[in-house]
A and B are shown apart, each in its own frame.
Chain A
């Protein structure tokens, strides 16, 4: 199956700093990438959808100035958490979907962010 990687897998940062998370589709071109956030014992919450070369579409309640998403190429999307606060600590997961017409999304392994 298609492979999606995320880097880093785990990051600890201080409050007020910014953190960048990378999501890469390794063996296919992802026209659309999605960013999710998962709180403990809760479902995956869609944060935003990004298409290559265009601005991301954010879900209601997600601050676009805080969670900056860039989808610069067909294999790379980045999520930057700006001015991180402890409440931003969470598990962030990206997924990628190709242009083949199937609706399966391939998920990355996730990034555990801890803001101290």
Chain B
């Protein structure tokens, strides 16, 4: 069962613009959410996270928003840079147990 969904397999944006990656989840027991960035043939790299007690967390160009009532979170990248081009995975965990990943969204930032 897909408890974490990323419905957009790909996204293309122009350099300098905002990239918005979306993620939905179904399990209300999830209380911690993470975004990972992954290049081909490499392991995922942790990007940013948010606890369910917050609705926003910001780190430089990256901001994650959480809407618990909608079971939705999003990652905003502003401004987008060509080096941001990668696959982004949304992940969720409940009580620190195993993590569930979305299918990933391939972001392409065009110069």
- Name A residues whose Cβ lies closer than 8 Å to a Cβ of B: 1, 4, 6, 34, 41-44, 46, 49, 91, 93, 95, 103-110, 112
Contact = CB atoms under 8 A, between A and B. Distances in A.
A46 B43 contact: no
B22 to A, nearest CB: 15
Contact of B101 (A43, A49, A91, A112): A43
A110 B43 contact: yes
B8 interface: no
B59 interface: no
A111 to B, nearest CB: 10
Contacts of B98: 34, 46, 49
8 contacts: A6-B43, A43-B101, A44-B44, A46-B100, A103-B34, A103-B99, A105-B46, A107-B44
B103 interface: yes
Interface string B37-48: 000011111100
